[in-house]
Amino acid sequence: MAEPVELKVEMIACTAFTPPASVEWSTDAQGAEALVEFAGRACYETFDKPNPRTATNAAYLRHIMEVGHTALLEHASATMYIRGISRSATHELVRHRHFSFSQLSQRFVHAGEQEVIIPDLINEDPQLRELFLRAMDENRFIHNELLHALEEKLAGEPNALLRKKQARQAARSVLPNATESRIVVTGNFRSWRHFIGMRASEHADVEIRQVAVECLSALRLAAPTAFGDFEIETLADGTRMATSPYVTDF
């Protein structure tokens, strides 16, 4: 039986920062956001904070965003572990070329149950949900038949691991877009901001939009100023989107 799974986004790493002992400077933030400020001040040697309007870390970072000096944000990075995401949404995600990815292998890992992501529009309608799950079950049946037939066909291959891999890589071609995937994504803050700007937009697909909003929520906890300009809104259909006045260059 196909088993619907929910999206889960967890931040598993975020930049740590060790200020150099040889520089006389301190700030009221830590980690990634302190590093971004340090990198900016290093450009102009303004560790003595000559401009009182940008003396706090938050004011400094907001100024960076206002003037578009966003290259500084590349010094800070964060890693998300995303589960409960469909293969079609990861296909959209991996289009973002500044991220680094490590994705669950369909050639090596054969899930016992078929875990699937049901699009909200289908999930909210009992008839459509039933039709969807039936399609998933029929698909799984055919996939398993194919897999067994392929394993038999490859019975002459003495390397068991290779045999299984060859069978799975051929059989997986019938798996649906809704198949659950898992992926580790690392990006610098500039890339995360670009990704959120594009994918948390109301024009993006609902699932990747949900992924982007969840990533934004996690990033905001770690770096409230660097991602504080994004506003999260709820649309008429109950889904969420986010926009920032500073992320407009698509």
Q: Which residues contribute to the site for ligand FAD (CB under 6 A)?
A: 95-98, 194, 198-199, 203-204
SS3 content of the chain, % helix, strand, coil (to 5): 45, 20, 35
Q: Of 223, 231, 235, nearest to 33 (Cα)?
A: 223
Strands 2-4 and 114-116: parallel
Helices (H), the chain: 31-44, 57-67, 87-93, 120-123, 126-153, 160-171, 189-199, 206-222
Active site residue 199: yes
Instruction: Find all residues with CB under 8 Å of 207, minimum gap 6, and list them.
Output: 7, 85, 86, 88, 89, 117, 119
d(CA 84, CA 177): 13
Given 87, 140, 190, 199, the catalytic residue: 199
Residue with tokens 């986010």: 242
**Residue number with CB closer to ligand FAD (91 or 134):** 91
Q: Which residues are catalytic?
A: 199
